[in-house]
Amino acid sequence: MQRQDATEQTRLIEKAQTLLQQGALEDARELLLREGFEQGDNPLLQNAYYELIPLGETLQARLDPLKTALQPPYDEASVKAVAAIVKEAAKASNKVTHAWIRDPRVTDLLIDALSHGNARLVKEAALALTHIVHRYFADYRVRAAFVPLLSNANKTLRRVACGVVGRWPDESIVAMLAPLTEDKAAEVRQEATKTLAGLEQENIPALTRPLFEDALIARLKDSEPTVRDIAAFGLGAHGVARAASELEAALRVEVSPLVRESIEITLGKLTKKTGQA
């Protein structure tokens, strides 16, 4: 994620101020959210958001009880308060929830809960942030908060962390996720494999390309057919020609019709690519 220079950030703040003077509150809000939080971690623009964008009655009504609940000793009331957000954020996106949940002051509280709460609260906060990031507000700051969860003892947290961290891939993404394709939990292996397979070519550094390819090739022997299917698809999507022999071997023993089809499609792609080379 690239950050704007100081001149560009100042220009964006001035643009937001102009929009506010014109009565275009939502346009100013979206500008600062996008440039300050979603496109990268830009403290200057973030501070401008906090200073220029009012809470509003709906957001204030949701923040006040959440702030009260998320206080030490982080007890059952804290867990229930965040669990309620999980339940609401998990629903189909709607205007009622959008009116308050798409705000960094909400994610601020939930990110803080990840580092100060008990195990149950951490899990609920992580689930809430996962739904928010994927459905409402892709707050880039969540990524850093989720990296430690990749090694959490809870398999659900490891799983959701794969998807959230992978939403903003950087040069370390392959090194972070490849080990999780061998996780003891099938759901974690599936999410890590899916995230790797879905990476754009430009997000796979040359130095980690062999690790990326090895991770997908190894999943052709996974005990779960869904993981094998994702691996076969990923190898085809990324044109991993050196995987041809492993794919042929996998096809000879594969029992799932769906996975067999994916392997055959991938072999067809690789054969065509090799023929054109």
pLDDT digits (tens, 9 = 90+) for 127-139: 999 999 999 999 9
pLDDT value at position 121? 96
Residue 276 has pLDDT above 60, yes or no: no
Identify the CA nearest to 83 among candidates 50, 119, 123: 123
Residue 274 has pLDDT above 80, yes or no: no
Lowest mean pLDDT among 110-119, 133-142, 170-179, 238-247: 110-119
The three-point CA angle 63-84-150 to 5° equals 95
Residue 1 has pLDDT above 90, yes or no: no
The answer, yes or no, to whether the previous bond of 54 is cis (omega within 30 of 0) is no
pLDDT band at 253 (very low <50, low <70, confident <90, very high): very high
- Percent of the chain at pLDDT > 90 equals 91
Identify the CA nearest to 126 among candidates 148, 103, 104, 105: 148
pLDDT band at 6 (very low <50, low <70, confident <90, very high): confident
Residue tagged 């929830």 (tokens):
97
pLDDT value at position 117? 76
pLDDT value at position 93? 87
